[in-house]
Amino acid sequence: MEKTKRRKRNTRQKAVVYQVVLDSSDHPTAEKVYERAKRELPTISLGTVYRVLKELVSEGKIKEIIVNKQSHFEKRTDFHHHFICRECGKIEDVETPLCRYTCKKVENKGYVVEDVEYKFYGLCDRCAQKLGVLQEGSAQS
């Protein structure tokens, strides 16, 4: 009986954490996921959130990206890249065909590529504007 109860709780915790990641498009850290999961499940602990996130990553349901030595989590598990703003810390998805070319080069060596991620570091459009470093014409495209 105790065991069934615990398993039920675990399933619920996992469902809530997974839903939080599905609802987030800002690549949250485990701490952010914890804050959001607590609204739904006030008794959940940060340790549980960590464990469940790792589980979901190993099951391929979510993806973990490391930015500035910190783990961030997201629902997208396909090939895509990230832009990271050094001013506000925003992480945004970036689509670029660049990787197909680079992949081919690596695959030509006989390697099997399973994942590719480029990270672009700099200033987002808003921070660039705020700091007055927006380049001529860059806002149009």
Q: Which residues of the shown chain bind Zn ion in the complex (CB under 5 A)?
A: 74, 76, 85, 87-88, 90, 93, 124, 127
Of the pair 25, 45, the CB lying nearest Zn ion is at 25
**Distance in angstroms (rounded) separating the CA atoms of residues 78 and 51:** 22
Nearer to Zn ion, 47 or 122 (CB): 122
Residue 14 and residue 62 in contact, taking contact as beta carbons nearer than 8 Å: no
Q: Residue 117 corresponds to which tokens in the numbers above?
A: 């991620």
Q: How far is the CB of 30 from Zn ion (least distance, A)?
A: 16
* Between 28 and 74, CB nearer to Zn ion: 74
How far is the C-alpha of 6 from the C-alpha of 41, rounded, in Å? 15
Would you say 20 or 124 has its CB closer to Zn ion?
124
- Residue 67 Cβ vs Zn ion, minimum distance, rounded to whole Å: 10
Residue 53's CB is within 10 A of a number of other CB atoms, namely 25
Work out how close the CB of 18 gets to Zn ion at its nearest, in angstroms, rounded to a whole number. 16
Q: Could you tell me the smallest distance in angstroms from the CB atom of residue 91 to Zn ion?
A: 7
CB of 92 to Zn ion, least distance (A): 8
Pick between residue 40 and residue 64 the one whose CB is nearest to Zn ion: 64
Please, what's the b/e burial string for 75-111 (b: 16 or more CB within 10 A of its CB; e: otherwise)?
A: beeeebbbbbbeeeebbeeeeeeebeeeeeeeeeeee
